[in-house]
Structure 1
Amino acid sequence: MDEQDYYWPGIQSREATDWAALLPADDMTGWLTPDPSARTPLIEPLAAHPD
């Protein structure tokens, strides 16, 4: 397993994963924010709220 591979129970493979089901609905906002100091996005699906 390299540094970009993660183990999530119940996920068999990248190809078999329904990635859209892991993210908030299209009409939600507030769950994806930039972190300029780390130069990465912060992904917090539980912080989603209606747009």
Structure 2
Amino acid sequence: MFTQGHHSIKSVLPTDIRSFIVDMFDYRQKSMGYVVTVLRKLHTYFRAEGLLEIRF
């Protein structure tokens, strides 16, 4: 779990986010709504700061 390891947010790919969500589902099934909400907020921040160009 969580073995990708990135040194920069710019190296994160959509496949990394998908893998994270799939992995989290195994551990946090009941709180996936919260996990996705936090990911969306992080994504919004990173895009606003020009740190991430991928779509959520």
TM-score (norm 1): 0.26
- Higher RCO (C-alpha 8 Å, min separation 6): 2
Higher helix share: 2
Rg (Cα) greater in structure: 1
TM-score (norm 2): 0.25
